Structure 1
Amino acid sequence: MNSQAISRELALRIGLAARALPDTDAKRLLSVLTDCIGLPLTEQKIAGIDLNALKSAKAGEFADVDEPLLTHALSILKSGLNAPERQAYTDGDMPGSVRIACASNDGINVDGHFGSCSQFLIYQVSADEARLIDIRNPDIPDGLEVDDKNAFRAELIQDCQVLYIASVGGPAAAKIVKLGIHPMKLPGIETIADIIKQLQTVIAGTPPPWLAKVMGVEASDRFHFEREATG
Structure 2
Amino acid sequence: MAKTTNINVTSNEANNNTLKVAFATDDDNTVDRSFSKAKKFIVYDISKDKCTIKKIIEIDTSNLPEGEKIKYIISSLKGVNIIYCKNIIGGDAAKVISSGITPVKVKYIDSIEELLSQFTYMINNNPPPWIRKIMNIELEDVRLDRWKSE
Same fold (TM over 0.5): yes
SS in 1 for 2:61: coil
Conserved in 2, the CA contact under 8 Å of 1:87 and 1:131? no
Confirm or deny that 1:115 pairs with 2:32: no
Confirm or deny that 1:224 pairs with 2:134: no
Partner of 2:11: 89
Alpha-carbon distance in structure 1 between the residues aligned to 2:52 and 2:14: 11
Alpha-carbon distance in structure 2 between the residues aligned to 1:155 and 1:102: 16
* TM superposition score normalised by structure 1: 0.54
Match for 1:194: what amino acid?
Answer: E
Judged with a 3 Å threshold, the aligned counterparts in structure 2 of structure 1 residues 117 and 216 are, in CA distance, closer, same or farther, namely: same
1:204 to 117, 120, 124: 124
1:162 to 79, 82, 96: 82
Partner of 1:105: 26
> 5+ residue gaps in structure 2?
1-6
- 1:146, distance to aligned residue in structure 2 (A): 7.7
- 1:224, distance to aligned residue in structure 2 (A): 2.3
Higher helix proportion: 1
Coordinate RMSD, CA, aligned? 2.5
Higher relative contact order (CA 8 A, sep 6+): 2
- 1:94, distance to aligned residue in structure 2 (A): 3.6
- 1:186, distance to aligned residue in structure 2 (A): 0.7
**Within 5 A, what are the aligned runs for 1:25-174?**
87-89=9-11, 93-140=14-61, 147-174=67-94
Equivalent pairs, count:
139
Match for 2:106: what amino acid?
Answer: L
Pair member with larger Rg: 1
Partner of 2:112: 192
Deviations 1:18-42 (CA, angstroms, capped at 9, x unpaired): xxxxxxxxxxxxxxxxxxxxxxxxx
Alpha-carbon distance in structure 2 between the residues aligned to 1:146 and 1:166: 20
Conserved in 2, the CA contact under 8 Å of 1:97 and 1:124? yes
- 1:155, distance to aligned residue in structure 2 (A): 1.5
Deviations 1:131-177 (CA, angstroms, capped at 9, x unpaired): 111111121386x7784211111121120111101100111101100
Higher strand proportion: 2
